[in-house]
Structure 1
Amino acid sequence: MKTIFTTFSLLLFMGLMIISPDKKIKSIETQDTREFQGQATYMAKSSLDLGSWGARMSEEQKKEVKARLKNRLEKTYMLTFNKTESYFTENDMLDAMSGATDSWGKNFAAGDQYKNVKTNTQIQDQEFYGKRFLVKDSLQPINWKLGSESKPIGKYMCFKATASIPTDELTWHSFSWGKLRPSAPVTESGETEELEIDMTEVEAWYSPQIPVSHGPSEYWGLPGLILEVSAGDTTMLCSKLVINPKESIEIEAPSKGKEVNKKEYQETIVEKMKEFRSQRMGGRPRG
């Protein structure tokens, strides 16, 4: 897929506030005895495809829908990192129209995420309908293709990398009603028909000047911090970067909740949504 929100990225680039290291060195190295640390702020923006439903709406109605969903379409995140660990969390946002948090969307949003590239570990704090889960699994494997194309983001030179990742692997924390359909249809001969795996094309821009293999969300594994990434209908762009802040930062993995892996968590979501669908179609039992 092509990179989206070109205008958004350009405007954000023009106002990019990145704290730069000493210009005389090509890569950032720790200037004292502290462990190498950093904090990166990312602005994420997603497009909204209203499909055939939107074709029946007026322009005013479309604007109203987009305003109500602004907290889902525009988000801000913080990535805290050292050489081996990172912690990724969403900054709280209120609904643009009502001032209330998005309770439905919160159930399927990614929670606070800890990654350790040395131990190949990901631990994520997820809450689903009032129950807390501690999702422990290995890091998402990504077969990056490194390109020669480059561009500056703020004061850092970045290089392009691309990858194709199974969509389900990137959206394991979320849900779509399509997941309730049979996963493997049976042909007339009784054989199981193979389904084509839906893939998401990812484009990332990383800077070797920041010598860590971290990135926002599920993305990691490049020879430099990922400062911009586009996948599907969403683009994340680093708007602020602080290297070795004055106050030392401790990175701690989430530790509370029912321990499951990604597959088990997705199965929990699917079973709960099947229950909701059954209640809606059959009617709620009377008290």
Structure 2
Amino acid sequence: MKKAFIKYSVLCLIFFISHVTNSQDFQGKAYYMSKTTIDMANFGRPGMDEDMKKRIADRLKNALEKTFILTFNKSESIYEEEEKLEAPGGGGSGFRTMMMGNFVDGNQYKNIKDQSFLQEREIFGKKFLIKDSIPSFEWRMTGETKQIGQYTCFKASGIKVKYGLDVNTRRPNQDDEEQPEEGQNMVEVAVWYTPQIPVSQGPSDYWGLPGLILEVNEGRTTILCSKIVLKSDEKDTIKVPSKGKEISRAEFDELSKKKMEEMRENFRRGGGRPGGGGGRR
């Protein structure tokens, strides 16, 4: 009974803070660290020794640990990768490194008011502008709470459509029967959000909760907020992405998969880039 009363009191306090601050023009920056682990069981080519696997995995680690900045206000946000110096010899080698180098993610923009999503992407130097609606989430509240920094967070879970390419995709010489079945593009996610920052925003394409999302767990990827800077007077400019050929997310994914298959074939034959420079559809 005592624990239930304490939990209820905390909830009341947080939602009181949320109600008071809701009238403010909430804006700021949130810094996130994104980490993706590699499926070592399917990593590398058959017969590759463990030392070689480890060396390549260590090189890839730098590419799979990224820092992002989310600049947000009540209605808009832009999610940008923080630039960092490339580590000497950190490029790695092989199919996955080639894939990451030729399929480049750009800034992600969300507008809650008009439900729009924009992202600049690049395939083999060809620029695209993904223009679509923001994804919808049917969040389920779990009742769990935890502290992230100074913020009390609540857990929510849901299912999302998995867009884009996966660094844990199969090796180019694996049998086709090991592939996931067609249409398996859904992934279960768990997030932690705080009503103390009453904006329906979050990293990447996440949104839709009564507070800023501070942590995301999606498959082998974890996104965790490390710092928040709130601003009341000085406004940061949220620049709407505008460069590249307009394309929907579904169309871009279809094009990406086609180019990746071409790259696989070239990789098997010891060749280079797919023909057409990513521009042909």
| TM-score when normalising by structure 2 | 0.75
Which deviates more from structure 2 when the two are superposed, residues 91-100 or residues 125-134?
91-100
Contact 1:110 1:173 in 2 (8 A): no
Query: Gaps (5+ residues) in structure 1?
Result: 1-22, 183-193
Instruction: Give the secondary structure class of the aligned counterpart of 2:238.
Output: coil
What corresponds to 2:164 in structure 1?
Answer: 171
Residue deviations 1:13-35 (CA, integer Å, cap 9, x gap): xxxxxxxxxx9x72373898xx4
Alpha-carbon RMSD across the aligned residues, in angstroms, is: 3.4
**Aligned residue type for 1:119:** D
Corresponding position of 2:100:
105
Alignment of 1:1-287 (within 5 A): 26-27=17-18, 29=21, 35-51=25-41, 53=43, 57-58=49-50, 60-98=51-89, 104-167=99-162, 170-171=163-164, 176=169, 195=182, 197-244=184-231, 247-277=234-264
In the alignment, the residues of structure 1 paired with residue 192 and residue 106 of structure 2 have an alpha-carbon distance, to the nearest angstrom, of: 24
Larger relative helix fraction? 2
Q: Where do 4+ consecutive residues of structure 1 move more than 3 Å? A: 52-58, 60-63, 93-97, 99-104, 172-178, 273-284
| 1:91-149 Cα distance to aligned partner (Å, 9 max, x none) | 12344342669774143343200000111100001111111111100011111111211
**Structure 2 residue ranges without an equivalent (≥5):** 1-13, 272-281
Cα separation, 1, equivalents of 2:49 and 2:234: 51
Residues in 1 aligned to 2:61 and 2:116: alpha-carbon distance in whole angstroms:
32
Q: Using a 3 Å threshold, how does the CA distance of structure 1 residues 141 and 175 change in structure 2: closer, same or farther?
A: farther
**Identity, % of aligned pairs?**
44
Alignment length, in residue pairs?
245
Preserved CA contact (<8 Å) 1:38 1:82:
yes
TM-score normalized with structure 1 length: 0.73
SS of 2:106 mapped into structure 1: coil
Contact 2:30 2:70 in 1 (8 A): yes
- Cα displacement (A) at 1:259: 0.7
Report how far residue 271 of structure 1 moved: 3.1
